[in-house]
Amino acid sequence: MLPSERDVRYLESLYPPDPDLERVRAGMEAHGMPDIAIRPAYGRLLTLLVAARGARRVLEIGALAGYSAICLARGLPPGGRLISLEKNPDYARVAHAHVAAAGLADRVEIRVGDALTLMPALVAEPPHPSFDLVFIDADKQHYPDYLEWSLRLLRPGGLLVADNALMHGRVADPVDTAPAVEAMRRFNRRVATDPRLVSTMLPAYDGLVLARVREG
């Protein structure tokens, strides 16, 4: 059973206002950005996962306006680092402003460019592999490639988190054979069957993938 809007509102009502994230929502609207940032409870899950993993190095693919970057960075210890990759330079500027306004600029680095260029560059950058958690939330047709590079960048025991496994019902609709949908099907099957991963996929939000890289 999926939660009702009333249930979602009830759970959200328990938390105090979050000015740093409200600023991101307002900034997205002011800049005419698509309203596709993650929801508040999802953001709290990211903070929890980073903290529970004890992650010190986190990688994000797709910064948009910095909402999830703020949530990920909040879980880091002092001296921890989030590297967030964003293709659109305007989005990257907006994201950086929101991260700075949230007081997290010291632990977040936004790199502008195509993740399929920037991820191989990270593989070549010591220390390697160094990431404790990777969050994928970017262009859907490249998810299988992002997965490959993530598996090279994640340490044993590292966590992979990915948004939009269901693409609003399209992935489970056999009639939909759009390239991005087919790519997401390949990504999901790969996550579910790759012997290097222990995973689950929650039918929450738009399909939430959680996986851990096996140790040894």
Number of H helices, E strands in the chain: 8, 7
Q: Which of 163, 165, 209, 211 binds ligand DHB (CB under 6 A)?
A: 163
Structure tokens, 87: 């293709």
CA 24 to CA 67: how far, in whole Å?
6
* 84 touches Mg ion (CB under 5 A): no
- By CB under 6 A, what part of segment 193-212 binds ligand DHB? 206
Residue 181 near which of Mg ion, ligand DHB, none (CB within 5-8 Å, type-dependent): none
If the CB atoms of residues 36 and 116 are measured against Mg ion, the closer one turns out to be 36
CA 63 to CA 111: how far, in whole Å?
9
Q: Give yes or no for a contact between 153 and 122, defined as CB atoms under 8 angstroms apart.
A: yes
44 contacts: CB under 8 Å, gap ≥ 6: 15, 71
* 36 touches ligand DHB (CB under 6 A): yes
* 137 touches ligand DHB (CB under 6 A): yes
If the CB atoms of residues 84 and 164 are measured against ligand DHB, the closer one turns out to be 164
Longest dimension (CA), the chain: 48
- By CB under 5 A, what part of segment 141-200 binds Mg ion? 163-164
Q: Give yes or no for a contact between 147 and 170, defined as CB atoms under 8 angstroms apart.
A: no
* ω into 156 cis (within 30 of 0): no
Structure tokens, 4: 């009702």
Q: Give yes or no for a contact between 70 and 100, defined as CB atoms under 8 angstroms apart.
A: no
* 137 touches Mg ion (CB under 5 A): yes
Listed ranges 3-11, 43-51, 118-126, 135-143: which one lies at the site for Mg ion (CB under 5 A):
135-143
* ω into 3 cis (within 30 of 0): no
* 164 touches ligand DHB (CB under 6 A): yes
- By CB under 6 A, what part of segment 117-136 binds ligand DHB? none
If the CB atoms of residues 83 and 136 are measured against ligand DHB, the closer one turns out to be 136
Listed ranges 75-83, 118-126, 132-140, 196-204: which one lies at the site for Mg ion (CB under 5 A):
132-140
Residues contributing to the site for Mg ion (CB under 5 A): 137, 163-164
Residues contributing to the site for ligand DHB (CB under 6 A): 36, 137, 163-164, 206
